Structure 1
Amino acid sequence: MSNAYFKVPLPKNEPVFSYEPESVEKDQIKKKLKELKEQKIEIPLIIGGKEIRTGNIRECIIPHDKGHVLATYHIAGEKEIEMAIDAALKAKREWQNMPWPHRAAIFLKAAELLSGPWRYTLNAATMLGQSKTVYQAEIDSACELIDFLRFNVYYMTQIYNEQVDSTTEAWNRMEYRPLDGFVLAVTPFNFTAIGANLPTAPVMAGNVALWKPASTAIYSGYYVMKLLQEAGLPDGIINFIPGSGSMVGDKVFSNEDFAGIHFTGSTKVFKDIWKMIANNLEKYKAYPRIVGETGGKDFIFAHHSADIDVLVTALVRGAFEYQGQKCSAASRAYIPKSMWKRVKEKLIEEIKTIKMGDVEDFRNFMSAVIDQNAFNKIKSYIDYAQNSKDAEIICGGKCDDEKGFFIQPTVIQSKDPNFKAMTEEIFGPVLTIYVYEDEKIEETIKLCDESTPYALTGAIIANNREAIVKMEKQLSCAAGNFYINDKPTGAVVGQQPFGGARASGTNDKAGSKLNLIRWMNPRVIKENFNPPQNYTYSFMEEK
């Protein structure tokens, strides 16, 4: 027991390396890419700290070079899922009783390791396994993950320091316990940082977790697990179980000790999970915490006062960085007719300069989409637009999956603001634009707000302050992260906590203490220094 209050270091956002020609970091990442490509690893389950091999094998491939196998990985079955639950619950008591500074130290050490010797390993694994350019990997698997680890520890201590008022007669105290049971983390392919944050945020608060990564991000996820083990994470606190979502869900959501889910993925899957939890509610020891970030149909809305260069840059970066595979990617835009001709010319001119290919060629701005299923889905939207009388492809549109899953940056102009590509989530490098009559801006803003079920991110581009004030208010429920004169992507931990509402999730804001509090179970303790010794009250003395 410690007789002191401890303060963790005040976090600062991790500096982003530039990887300029002839820089040390460029030399280091090139070496690590070569090293990882020259070996083929076997990825086991990690349950209770032990490596488990089931013999049910799948492959991790490079999306932009689909014939290259980076690793084989084992799939969890029902037996292994039950083992993971048992291992987590067995480790829980000692973990939750560990003094919080020691729990915090593990994640601060992991952040420091990632800032140093592990940086190039995680970045290279993300570049190869998820087809991210070096810059997109750097801001994700290095900087954002480091920020999540450091800032979440800091937020945890801020919550612990929040205490209730007391009197001279009674001392009131608040403690923040972990949840009663285990947490399931279901993580996506598109951000290594999210993959790591979803299990680590709950466990640093004293919980234990099962981690089911997306099948297309198991490669980087495995290296995250090895990083956490090197930082000193005890066995059984996070159990790494790649496997079928339905099988994991069946076993986890029927277990009485299920305490919560931390999820990022599709809206449909999240709704199905919520229904399963509701159907099993009578089985649980406590009401589970349900935290999820799901789909988006993110917008850019331009006012006629917008700077065209600012607008076009926001469109290109917002829609096509990481092949549009961000929950926050700009997928629809509303442009006034009075400026459309100039915007169209500039936009097409810029897109024609975009280079696409292997992430190891640093001249490339884009690479491949994640897998064959994603390629087929995105292509179907392009094909639909090509065959529609209500839309025209004004740029891109070509798809090629011979070597890798490559889709050109594509711009569709739609005559119909409710066109399929304007309202449905595509999750690829496809931007659909609706050109509106300047005098119909009010009804077009209403369309922007109401034409999709999502409310994740959005941006307005304008220089007229009155217009900015008005649009900010009119679109107040349309996006959980709202940007003015910027692209709707690139949220930074501690600066723009991330999350949306409506069909985009529970808006528990990853990258803030609002998320951390969801993994805590507060208890108030009152100690009475002058307890009553008789049950009667003075009002009862009436004659």
Structure 2
Amino acid sequence: MDKKVSDGPPVAHYDLHIDGRDVPCDRVMDSFNPYTGERWAVVPDGQESDIDAAVAAARRAFDEGPWSKLTATQRGALIRKLGDIVARDAEILARIECNDNGKLYREMLGQWRYIPEYFYYFAGMADKLQGDVVPSDRTNFFIYTRREPVGVVGAITPWNSPGLLLVFKLAPGLAAGCTFVVKPSEHTPVSTLELAKRFKEAGFPDGVFNVVTGQGTLGAALVKHPGIDKVAFTGATATGKRIAASAAQNLTRVSLELGGKSPNIVFADADLDVAANGAIAGIFGATGQTCMAGSRLLVQDSVHDELLERIVARTKEIRLGNPMDEATEMGPVANEPQYHKVMEYIDVAKADGAKLCCGGIGDPDLGGFFVQPTVLSNVTNDMRIAQEEVFGPVLSVIKFSDEEDAIRIANDTRFGLAAAVWTQNIHRGHRVAHRLRAGTVWINAYRVVSFATPFGGFKESGLGRENGVDAIREYTETKSVYVELTGEPRDPFKLG
């Protein structure tokens, strides 16, 4: 797609956000709307020195600044205020993300209207984060534990849902008392910079939230920085492995939400209309650009042909177009490299013997990086298309014979992020859910998340959990405190 820089709407200009201030940058990069091809924003292309400055600001705020002196209740009040501001500006932030990554406005608006709930949930948890009194095995000691913030967090966020996936980290981290340096994807940095403006309005102290935009090398600089206490990353598994290896050099804690190749399992007794709708939502929602995408559709052989026919018929009716149009059901792929990656995977699948039932081509008439929603049948689980994450609107349909066969195929992957089971047999639903090696399993549903429910993966889909009570524990350390009760001299050479 040709990129237009000489016409179109006014171009927005942004600075870095460090220590509560907008900081100009000598180098800049353009952000192009993946639907129109127009340059719509100019953002900083930061350097390692900017990472150093941002980490120093976060370090000051954590170690000695006003943030470190706030009570947990006061922190919660600020987080709730931030949620109120985001709720007020949801429409603005949704339009920004549509411009940045081409996702549907109606989806982004729903997402940004839901994001405040994450802030409210963790704001309430801030002063509920308590330790324990530990029963002592010695009469002269009182022992208790404290949960304390881990420190300065380096957050690296992806381009598919930059706001939501940042808040997965930000809300629990702030509630725990941490400070942040964020490096958003170079493809979608603007919503993060806009969110930074709202921190000031909410009354957060300087240095609590810092944003450095730029190329991917900045993420590497952030991970290896000795001033970072924890890295929180969402993105590709290969990148997550490199981050874990680099962070290990400083024994920096990590949480990694990585890729998936999630199985959507349909048994013969399922309601096929409902299952077909769930399969389509699971892979074509967000143009298939979600880590939890149900990219493998496992169908029991006795209903395979019937379900495939229904899915293909509905897939051919999916309306592609302007993400801002309410009638549009699927937008473009978010950027040019991803567009080419998706098209290459379709070619590989066909060469390996998969049958193209529909889609499989771009759509030059629409402009942008459109890939027609694609359904592939005759897929076996050993094909690359069934084992590697495509991150696009490509569904692989795989037959299975019985329950054991379905579980075997579903678990035969290096990933373990999500899965779904479609059946009207409640016993089977629970039985299969318990045996699937995945962090989230839906029964007769797909692609549902909640601020109150842990989310994360097994195997190469990641480390740690986001959302729910589990998430705030990812941003704390446990300290044990022993209090001697008698004040009497003790034998210095005797333990305890």
- TM-score > 0.5 by shorter chain: yes
Equivalent residues in 2 for 1:423-442 (5 A)?
423-436=387-400, 438=401, 440-442=402-404
Q: Which residue of 1 aligns with 2:409?
A: 447
Q: Which residue of 1 aligns with 2:196?
A: 225
2:469 is equivalent to residue 510 of structure 1:
no
**Mapped contact 2:101–2:335 kept (Cα < 8 A):** no
Q: Amino acid of the residue matched to residue 368 of structure 1?
A: P
3-state SS of the aligned residue for 1:311?
helix
Alpha carbons of 1:443 and 1:520: their partners in 2 closer, same or farther (altered >3 Å)? same
Instruction: Using the TM superposition, give the Cα deviation of residue 348 of structure 1 relative to its aligned residue in structure 2, in angstroms.
Output: 1.7
**CA–CA separation in structure 2 for the residues paired with 1:241 and 1:415:** 43
Q: Which residue of 1 aligns with 2:232?
A: 262
**CA–CA separation in structure 1 for the residues paired with 2:213 and 2:224:** 19
Instruction: Using the TM superposition, give the Cα deviation of residue 102 of structure 1 relative to its aligned residue in structure 2, in angstroms.
Output: 1.8
Q: Amino acid of the residue matched to residue 522 of structure 1?
A: T
2:331 is equivalent to residue 362 of structure 1:
no
Instruction: Using the TM superposition, give the Cα deviation of residue 77 of structure 1 relative to its aligned residue in structure 2, in angstroms.
Output: 0.8
Equivalent residues in 2 for 1:468-507 (5 A)?
468-475=429-436, 477=437, 479-487=438-446, 489-494=447-452, 496-506=453-463
**CA–CA separation in structure 2 for the residues paired with 1:272 and 1:309:** 42
Q: Amino acid of the residue matched to residue 291 of structure 1?
A: S
Q: Which residue of 2 aligns with 1:155?
A: 125
Q: Amino acid of the residue matched to residue 516 of structure 1?
A: I
Alpha carbons of 1:72 and 1:384: their partners in 2 closer, same or farther (altered >3 Å)? same
Q: Amino acid of the residue matched to residue 474 of structure 2?
A: R
**CA–CA separation in structure 2 for the residues paired with 1:150 and 1:229:** 18
Q: Which residue of 2 aligns with 1:525?
A: 481
3-state SS of the aligned residue for 1:274?
helix
**CA–CA separation in structure 1 for the residues paired with 2:169 and 2:122:** 11
Q: Amino acid of the residue matched to residue 104 of structure 1?
A: G
Alpha carbons of 1:410 and 1:248: their partners in 2 closer, same or farther (altered >3 Å)? closer
2:351 is equivalent to residue 395 of structure 1:
no
Q: Structure 1 stretch 51-60 or stretch 194-203: which is displaced more?
A: 194-203
2:343 is equivalent to residue 386 of structure 1:
no
The number of equivalent residue pairs is: 480
Q: Which residue of 1 aligns with 2:69?
A: 97
**Mapped contact 1:199–1:211 kept (Cα < 8 A):** no
Q: Which residue of 2 aligns with 1:33?
A: none
Q: Amino acid of the residue matched to residue 80 of structure 2?
A: L
Q: Amino acid of the residue matched to residue 458 of structure 1?
A: A
**Mapped contact 1:186–1:198 kept (Cα < 8 A):** no
1:110-137 deviation line (CA, Å, top 9, x unaligned): 111222x212111221222222223311
2:440 is equivalent to residue 460 of structure 1:
no
Q: Which residue of 1 aligns with 2:91?
A: 120
Q: Which residue of 2 aligns with 1:193?
A: 164
Q: Which residue of 2 aligns with 1:44?
A: 15
Instruction: Using the TM superposition, give the Cα deviation of residue 211 of structure 1 relative to its aligned residue in structure 2, in angstroms.
Output: 0.5
**Mapped contact 1:296–1:328 kept (Cα < 8 A):** yes
Equivalent residues in 2 for 1:296-335 (5 A)?
296-335=260-299
Instruction: Using the TM superposition, give the Cα deviation of residue 171 of structure 1 relative to its aligned residue in structure 2, in angstroms.
Output: 4.7
**CA–CA separation in structure 1 for the residues paired with 2:490 and 2:289:** 68
Q: Which residue of 2 aligns with 1:214?
A: 185
Q: Structure 1 stretch 47-56 or stretch 405-414: which is displaced more?
A: 47-56
Instruction: Using the TM superposition, give the Cα deviation of residue 492 of structure 1 relative to its aligned residue in structure 2, in angstroms.
Output: 1.6
1:174-210 deviation line (CA, Å, top 9, x unaligned): 3322225x22100111221112342443233222221
**CA–CA separation in structure 2 for the residues paired with 1:257 and 1:58:** 27
**CA–CA separation in structure 1 for the residues paired with 2:390 and 2:432:** 25
Q: Which residue of 2 aligns with 1:76?
A: 46
**Mapped contact 2:300–2:399 kept (Cα < 8 A):** yes
Instruction: Using the TM superposition, give the Cα deviation of residue 270 of structure 1 relative to its aligned residue in structure 2, in angstroms.
Output: 0.8
Instruction: Using the TM superposition, give the Cα deviation of residue 108 of structure 1 relative to its aligned residue in structure 2, in angstroms.
Output: 0.3
**Mapped contact 1:289–1:518 kept (Cα < 8 A):** no
1:360-409 deviation line (CA, Å, top 9, x unaligned): 21011111111001100001111223334x21011211213572110111
Q: Structure 1 stretch 103-112 or stretch 170-179: which is displaced more?
A: 170-179
**Mapped contact 2:288–2:391 kept (Cα < 8 A):** yes
Aligned-residue Cα RMSD (Å) equals: 2.2
- Which of 54, 57, 77 does residue 28 from structure 2 map onto? 57
Alpha carbons of 1:106 and 1:412: their partners in 2 closer, same or farther (altered >3 Å)? same
- Which of 206, 211, 218 does residue 235 from structure 1 map onto? 206
Instruction: Using the TM superposition, give the Cα deviation of residue 166 of structure 1 relative to its aligned residue in structure 2, in angstroms.
Output: 6.2
TM-score, structure 2 as length reference: 0.91
**Mapped contact 1:303–1:467 kept (Cα < 8 A):** no
**CA–CA separation in structure 2 for the residues paired with 1:69 and 1:534:** 73
**CA–CA separation in structure 2 for the residues paired with 1:314 and 1:515:** 28
**CA–CA separation in structure 1 for the residues paired with 2:379 and 2:289:** 25
**Mapped contact 2:247–2:254 kept (Cα < 8 A):** no
**CA–CA separation in structure 2 for the residues paired with 1:469 and 1:102:** 42
**Mapped contact 2:31–2:42 kept (Cα < 8 A):** yes
Q: Amino acid of the residue matched to residue 499 of structure 1?
A: G
2:303 is equivalent to residue 344 of structure 1:
no
Alpha carbons of 1:512 and 1:342: their partners in 2 closer, same or farther (altered >3 Å)? same
**CA–CA separation in structure 1 for the residues paired with 2:480 and 2:294:** 45
**CA–CA separation in structure 2 for the residues paired with 1:455 and 1:227:** 36
**Mapped contact 1:41–1:70 kept (Cα < 8 A):** yes
Unaligned stretches of 5+ in structure 2? 1-7
**Mapped contact 1:110–1:231 kept (Cα < 8 A):** yes
**Mapped contact 2:156–2:232 kept (Cα < 8 A):** yes
Alpha carbons of 1:249 and 1:530: their partners in 2 closer, same or farther (altered >3 Å)? same
**CA–CA separation in structure 1 for the residues paired with 2:144 and 2:289:** 45
**Mapped contact 2:186–2:213 kept (Cα < 8 A):** yes
**CA–CA separation in structure 1 for the residues paired with 2:192 and 2:144:** 39
Q: Amino acid of the residue matched to residue 233 of structure 1?
A: F
1:262-319 deviation line (CA, Å, top 9, x unaligned): 11011001101111122x23xxxxx421111000001111111111011101111111
**Mapped contact 2:106–2:326 kept (Cα < 8 A):** no
Alpha carbons of 1:38 and 1:232: their partners in 2 closer, same or farther (altered >3 Å)? farther
**CA–CA separation in structure 1 for the residues paired with 2:488 and 2:318:** 77
**Mapped contact 1:155–1:512 kept (Cα < 8 A):** no
3-state SS of the aligned residue for 1:227?
helix
Instruction: Using the TM superposition, give the Cα deviation of residue 226 of structure 1 relative to its aligned residue in structure 2, in angstroms.
Output: 1.3
Alpha carbons of 1:474 and 1:203: their partners in 2 closer, same or farther (altered >3 Å)? closer
Q: Amino acid of the residue matched to residue 57 of structure 1?
A: V
Alpha carbons of 1:78 and 1:533: their partners in 2 closer, same or farther (altered >3 Å)? closer
**CA–CA separation in structure 2 for the residues paired with 1:265 and 1:254:** 17
**Mapped contact 1:173–1:524 kept (Cα < 8 A):** yes
